[in-house]
Amino acid sequence: MKTFQTQPGFTVQAYRYALDPNSGQERALRSHCGAARAAYNWAVAWVSASWWQRKAEATYGIPEEDLTPWRPWSLPALRKEFNKVKKTDLRFADWWEGNSKEAYSTGLSNASAAFDNYAKSKNGKRRGKRMGAPRFKSKRKARLACRFTTGTIRVDADGRHVTLPRLGTIRTHEPTGSLLTRVQAGTARILSATVRHERGRWFASFQVEVKRDLERVTRPDVAVGIDLGVKTLAVMADSTGEIRAVPNPRHYDGALKSLRRASRTVSRRQGPDRRTGRRPSKRWEKANARRNKVHHRVANLRTDALHKLTTAVAAEYGTVVVEDLGVAGMLRNRRLARQIADAGFGEIRRQLDYKTRRRHATRAIVADRWYPSSKTCSGCGAVKAKLPLHVRTFACDACGLVLDRDDNAALNLAALAVAGTTGTGVAGDRDTPQAVSKPRGADRKTRATRPRPVAGAGRAGGATLPHQRREETRDRPQPEALTLW
């Protein structure tokens, strides 16, 4: 994959357009994506062969220095070896010339990145979950994608066509004026293009180096806290005290009736069976296409709504404060998993992150995951020990403030921007000069563990029983105020 040096004042941005290819162009698109998959599988097999060979030789007692040398997985090494075998290997000899060289380069680049990620993960140099060794891509499941970095890559002057290497000129489903105007004015330069098939359509995504002028927000001195939820998608409270609620559109729930009907039709058709090798019937394929169309419509509506929300927020406020939600853990709740997945909490944070970075006068603050925004009183800063999810109204025991829990959480998030912290310190202590890390689950009461029994000692041996320890604790002097956080 090529790396580009961005000029001062320029930023790299993507422009994506839906395509309307004819039958011949669609065959060519699928052929290029299939070539990328075949090159990826070849690279995985070529590199892994040396691993298995060394493992087999080690079982015969061959010393380390005499084992088969490791095969490199860098992109230049893979390209060099692939160019040697592409004319003689029976897997490529008959058809490799029918596609652009960029298709094979895409697969080799992806394989090189996969091996790099695996090696870094195994050596502890990569964050996140441990990654396994690269595996072969299935023809049935692999995502169709191909990237072009050289050759003729342009947006045509008529604003309704794009030109790609070996694929020729393809009509777009929508006008390309947003990119064409910048290219003609000299404020944008196309770096690469990627074609991808998703949601039943072909898309062309252009990686563009764009010159961006200073974009000013409507209220640069105002900070907003955003509390995400299921009943209400977002409750926004700014530093001036104004509170606004964005209702949850619930696109998936609205299409659930149609989706159930379509799924019932699919289940009554003769579908594929991998165990017996049975192929799906034509009626099953048509019914499955109708069901997928419902899913695609829901995904498009959700994407459109989230983009409109995040764009409006980034264009209005100078500081945006959002929570670091553990969405993966929230999805384990079987009662709310569907609603949480439909809301798209992670996508909202991702879009706010890059949309605020585009604007020089806007910043995004991510509150600590363990900051109790719902339990903290926005008036006096007192913190409740417990606030169950079914309690939708916050009532402060210290100052008597009664407020909706979502409004109270949004006000606390907005206050973090004014305090200049991220909520990693003691909850409610806004005068803390330095943030102190809080351990996991510190807002929960710790259950007292029973003492281990002493070997050979009974009640007469002086062992302390649990009820005796509770009585002794009850007699101890208690502090006047105890703050749980």
Residues designated catalytic: 227, 323, 406
- How many other CB atoms are there within 10 angstroms of residue 320's CB atom? 28
For residue 364, CA distances in Å to 227, 272, 389 come to: 14, 48, 27
3-state per-residue secondary structure call for the chain: CCCCCCCCCEEEEEEEEEECCCHHHHHHHHHHHHHHHHHHHHHHHHHHHHHHHHHHHHCCCCCHHHCCCCCCCCHHHHHHHHHHHCCCCCCCCCCHHHCCHHHHHHHHHHHHHHHHHHHHHHCCCCCCCCCCCCCCCCCCCCCCEEEECCCCCEECCCCCEEEECCCEEEEECCCCHHHHHHHHHCCEEEEEEEEEEECCEEEEEEEEEEECCCCCCCEEEEEEEEEECCCEEEEEEECCCCEEEEECCCHHHHCHHHHHHHHHHHHCCCCCECCCCECCCHHHHHHHHHHHHHHHHHHHHHHHHHHHHHHHHHHHEEEEEEECCCHHHHCCCCCCHHHHHHHCHHHHHHHHHHHHHHCCCCEEEEECCCCCCCCECCCCCCECCCCCCCCCEEECCCCCCEEEHHHHHHHHHHHHHHHCCCCCCCCCCCCCCCCCCCCCCCCCCCCCCCCCCCCCCCCCCCCCCHHHHHHHHHHCCCCCCCCCC
Select from 98, 199, 103, 198 the least CA-distant residue to 148: 103
Tokens, residue 416? 């973090």
Exposure b/e, 232-266, CB count within 10 A at least 16 = b: bbbbbbbbeeebebbebbebbeebeeebeebeebb
User: CA 366, CA 230: separation in Å to the nearest integer?
Assistant: 20
Tokens, residue 219? 């209220």
Q: Taking the mean position of all CA atoms in its chain, how far away is CA 220? A: 28
Whether 110 and 41 have beta carbons less than 8 Å apart is answered as no
